[in-house]
C-alpha cells in the first residue's frame, strides 16, 4: 500500500441499476474522484484485482452475487483486505446493516442518496485509510532505521579496527572496544572529549589543514592518511586514519566516523597481497609449463591426453586416500602427467617396430634421465612442484625390491634405488602408470579388463614379479583395498568417452 491524493482517489461503484450508477458517478466526479463502475459482483471482483481502487461503493441487492458475498470474496485478497467498502441499499433493516459490517464493510448509506452526506462519508473513509497507510509506512520506515542503526552499531562494535564517532565539533560520542583495547584508554575518559586528545603534538600541522579541506568539500567528504597517535601510557604509534563524513537522510553532515588501523597491520596486509600475487604468477607459470610439457609428452608415443589425465587422477586419488598433505595431493595431481616426458628425446626408438637390442633397451631406459633433465631445464628444480616432477620422471621405473632403473650413485654404490630410498611420489605414479598402460589399447597389445590387470600386477606371468615386490607392501595393500576406484576413474575418463 502507498499513500494517495484523496481528491484524486479511484472509486469503484457496483450497482445493478443503471440510474444509480449515473447519479453516484455525477456526484463523485464533481469532487474530482476517478470513477469505475460495474453492474454485478463478478465483474467487481475482477476490477478490484485489476484496478486496485481506493474505496468501493457496493449495492447489496444484485442478481448473481449479492453485495455481502461480493464483499467477503474481495476481503480474501491480501491486496484488497484494507480497501474500505461502503454498502449502499434502500433496505433499512438493522440485520442487513449488521451483516454488512460482519462481511467487512466500514459504513452503510441508504438510498436515496444525499450528495453532501455521501461525499462526507466517502471523504472520511478515504482520509482514514490514507492515515492508516501513513502510520504503517512510518512504522516500517522507523523499523528499518532501527534495524540499520542496530546493524551499523554491531559493525562498529565488532570491527577489528579502532573506531571513534564524533559530532561536527569532533566531540567523541562513540568508541568501540577494539580502539579501547589497542590504545589503552577507558570509555569514560574518551566520551565527551575532543578527538585531538589522542593525537600526538608531533603530527605535521598540514595534516589537519588537509583534513579540514577534504571533509568540508562535499565532493570528497573523507580523508585518509598516516598520523601519530598517543596511547594511554604515552607511547606513540603510527596508524592509518580514515575519516568519513556521516550524513542524515537529507544529506546534511552530522558528524564523523574515524577509523584507526595499526600501520603494522597495513604493512602485513600489503605483504600478504604481494605474496598472494607472487603465488598467483608462479602458479600461472607452473600451469603453462606443465601444459606445454604434457602436450609434448602426448606426441612421444601412442599415449593420449586421456592417459596422462588418468595417471594424474589415479595419483591424486592415491595420495589423498593415503592421507598425504594437501599440497602434495594437489601437486601430484598436476605433475604426474610428466612421468614420460623423457620419451620425446628417443622418438625413433619409441617408434621402432622390432624387438630391442640390449643397447636399445638401455637407451629406452634412459628416457627417465632425459625426462628429469628436460624438467630441470624448464624450471628451478628446488621449487616444490618441479622437484616432485623431476623425482617422478627419474624414478617411476624404480622397483621396491631394487630391481628397477635407472642406476644411481649412492654412497659410491652405483645401483637402482631400493625400498624407502624411492620417493613416494614416484612409487605412486609407477602403479598408476602401469595400471593404465595395461588397461589401454596399444599397437602391440589389446586393452585388458580391470580383473586381468589386477591379476597381472599381483604376479606378472612373464617375469614372475609380484606387486608387493614392485611397489612395497604398504602401496600394494592400498591398491588391493581401493582397486575398484581405479576401475571407476578409468571408466570416467576412458578414451571413447
Provide the 8-state DSSP code for 420. Answer: G
Per-residue pLDDT reduced to its tens digit, 54-102:
999 999 989 889 999 999 999 999 888 889 999 988 777 778 788 888 9
Predicted TM-score of the model (pTM)? 0.46
CATH architecture of the domain 299-492 equals Orthogonal Bundle (1.10)
Gap between the Cα atoms of 272 and 434, Å rounded: 42
Per-residue confidence band for 268, with pLDDT thresholds at 50, 70 and 90 = low
Per-residue model confidence (pLDDT) at position 411:
78
CA–centroid distance for 123 within its chain? 53
Gap between the Cα atoms of 217 and 432, Å rounded: 68
Per-residue model confidence (pLDDT) at position 117:
87
Per-residue confidence band for 465, with pLDDT thresholds at 50, 70 and 90 = confident
Per-residue confidence band for 238, with pLDDT thresholds at 50, 70 and 90 = confident
C-alpha cell at 1: 500500500
Q: Is the pLDDT of residue 298 over 60?
A: no
Provide the 8-state DSSP code for 113. Answer: P
Average pLDDT over residues 418-431: 94
Per-residue pLDDT reduced to its tens digit, 196-232:
999 999 999 888 999 999 888 888 888 988 899 999 9
Q: Is the pLDDT of residue 379 over 80?
A: no
Higher pLDDT, 469 or 380: 469
Q: What is the mean pLDDT of the chain?
A: 84
Per-residue model confidence (pLDDT) at position 16:
92
- pLDDT above 70 covers what percent of the chain? 85
Helical spans, DSSP H, in 218-341: 263-298, 305-321, 326-335
> Per residue in 128-167, is it b (16+ CB within 10 Å) or e — as a string?
ebbeebeeeeeeeeeeeeeeeeeeeeeebeeeebbbbbbe
Per-residue model confidence (pLDDT) at position 480:
94
CATH for the 6-137 domain, from 3.40.190.10, 3.40.50.720, 3.40.50.300, 3.40.50.2300: 3.40.50.2300
Name 255's Cβ contacts closer than 8 Å, sequence gap at least 6. Answer: 165, 166, 167, 168, 173, 245, 246
Query: In what helix (H) or strand (E) does residue 38 lie, and over which residues does it extend?
Result: strand 34-38
Per-residue pLDDT reduced to its tens digit, 11-27:
999 999 999 999 999 99
Q: Is the pLDDT of residue 369 over 60?
A: yes
Contact (Cβ atoms closer than 8 angstroms) between residue 329 and residue 314: no
Q: Is the pLDDT of residue 287 over 70?
A: no
Three-state DSSP class for 110?
A: strand
Per-residue confidence band for 239, with pLDDT thresholds at 50, 70 and 90 = confident
| CA angle, 417 then 318 then 441, to 5° | 85
Q: Is the pLDDT of residue 123 over 60?
A: yes
Q: Is the pLDDT of residue 151 over 60?
A: no
Give the CA distances from residue 114 to residues 54, 61, 110, 121, 293, in Å, rounded to whole numbers and listed in that order. Answer: 21, 20, 9, 11, 96
Name 351's Cβ contacts closer than 8 Å, sequence gap at least 6. Answer: 301
Per-residue model confidence (pLDDT) at position 172:
92
CA–centroid distance for 485 within its chain? 32
Average pLDDT over residues 227-247: 89
CA-nearest of 130, 101, 99, 106 to 3 is 130
> Domain map of the chain by residue range?
6-137, 160-263, 299-492
Contact (Cβ atoms closer than 8 angstroms) between residue 289 and residue 378: yes
Gap between the Cα atoms of 484 and 461, Å rounded: 22
- pLDDT above 90 covers what percent of the chain? 41
Domain 160-263 carries which CATH code? 3.30.450.20
Per-residue confidence band for 300, with pLDDT thresholds at 50, 70 and 90 = low
CA-nearest of 301, 365, 378, 364 to 335 is 378
Contact (Cβ atoms closer than 8 angstroms) between residue 213 and residue 237: no
Q: Which residue has the cell 595534516?
A: 207
Q: Is the pLDDT of residue 265 over 60?
A: no
Same fold, 6-137 and 299-492: no
Amino acid at each position: 500500500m502507498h499513500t494517495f491524493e484523496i481528491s484524486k482517489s479511484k472509486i469503484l461503484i457496483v450497482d445493478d441499476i443503471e440510474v444509480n450508477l449515473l447519479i453516484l458517478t455525477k456526484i463523485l466526479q464533481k469532487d474530482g474522484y476517478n470513477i469505475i463502475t460495474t453492474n454485478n459482483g463478478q465483474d467487481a471482483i475482477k476490477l478490484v484485482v485489476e484496478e486496485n481502487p481506493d474505496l468501493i461503493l457496493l449495492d447489496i441487492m444484485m442478481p448473481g452475487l449479492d453485495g455481502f458475498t461480493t464483499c467477503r470474496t474481495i476481503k480474501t485478497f491480501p491486496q484488497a483486505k484494507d480497501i474500505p467498502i461502503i454498502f449502499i441499499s434502500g433496505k433499512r433493516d438493522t440485520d442487513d446493516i449488521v451483516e454488512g459490517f460482519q462481511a467487512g464493510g466500514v459504513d452503510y448509506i441508504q438510498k436515496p442518496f444525499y450528495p453532501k452526506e455521501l461525499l462526507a462519508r466517502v471523504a472520511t473513509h478515504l482520509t482514514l485509510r490514507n492515515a492508516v497507510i501513513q502510520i504503517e509506512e512510518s512504522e516500517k520506515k522507523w523499523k528499518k532505521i532501527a534495524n540499520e542503526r542496530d546493524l551499523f552499531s554491531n559493525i562498529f562494535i565488532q570491527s577489528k579496527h579502532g573506531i571513534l564517532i564524533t559530532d561536527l565539533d569532533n566531540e567523541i560520542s562513540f568508541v568501540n572496544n577494539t580502539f579501547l583495547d589497542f590504545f589503552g584508554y577507558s570509555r569514560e575518559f574518551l566520551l565527551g572529549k575532543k578527538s585531538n586528545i589522542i593525537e600526538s603534538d608531533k603530527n605535521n600541522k598540514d595534516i589537519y589543514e588537509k583534513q579540514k579541506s577534504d571533509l568540508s568539500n562535499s565532493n570528497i567528504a573523507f580523508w585518509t592518511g598516516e598520523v601519530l597517535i598517543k596511547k594511554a601510557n604515552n607511547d606513540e604509534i603510527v596508524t592509518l586514519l580514515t575519516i568519513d563524513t556521516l550524513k542524515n537522510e537529507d544529506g546534511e553532515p552530522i558528524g564523523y566516523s574515524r577509523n584507526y588501523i595499526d600501520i603494522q597491520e597495513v604493512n602485513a596486509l600489503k605483504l600478504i597481497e604481494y605474496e598472494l600475487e607472487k603465488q598467483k604468477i608462479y602458479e600461472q607459470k607452473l600451469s603453462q609449463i606443465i601444459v606445454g610439457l604434457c602436450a609434448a609428452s602426448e606426441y612421444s608415443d601412442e599415449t593420449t591426453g586421456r592417459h596422462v589425465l588418468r595417471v594424474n587422477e589415479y595419483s591424486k586419488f592415491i595420495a589423498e586416500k593415503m592421507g598425504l598433505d594437501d599440497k602434495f595431493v594437489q601437486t601430484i595431481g598436476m605433475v604426474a602427467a610428466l612421468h614420460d616426458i623423457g620419451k620425446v628425446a628417443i622418438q625413433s626408438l619409441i617408434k621402432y617396430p622390432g624387438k630391442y637390442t640390449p643397447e636399445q633397451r638401455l637407451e629406452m631406459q634412459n628416457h627417465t634421465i632425459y625426462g628429469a633433465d628436460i624438467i630441470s631445464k624448464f624450471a628451478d628444480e628446488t621449487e616444490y612442484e618441479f622437484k616432485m616432477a623431476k623425482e617422478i620422471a627419474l624414478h617411476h621405473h624404480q622397483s621396491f625390491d631394487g630391481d628397477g632403473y635407472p642406476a644411481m650413485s649412492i654412497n659410491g654404490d652405483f645401483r637402482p634405488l631400493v625400498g624407502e630410498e624411492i620417493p613416494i611420489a614416484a612409487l605412486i605414479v609407477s602403479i598408476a602408470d602401469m595400471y593404465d598402460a595395461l588397461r589401454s589399447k596399444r599397437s602391440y597389445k589389446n586393452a585388458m579388463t580391470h580383473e586381468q590387470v589386477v591379476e597381472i600386477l599381483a604376479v606378472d606371468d612373464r617375469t614372475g614379479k609380484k606387486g608387493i615386490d614392485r611397489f612395497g607392501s604398504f602401496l600394494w595393500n592400498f591398491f588391493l583395498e581401493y582397486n575398484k576406484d581405479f576401475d571407476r576413474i578409468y571408466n570416467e575418463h576412458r578414451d571413447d568417452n
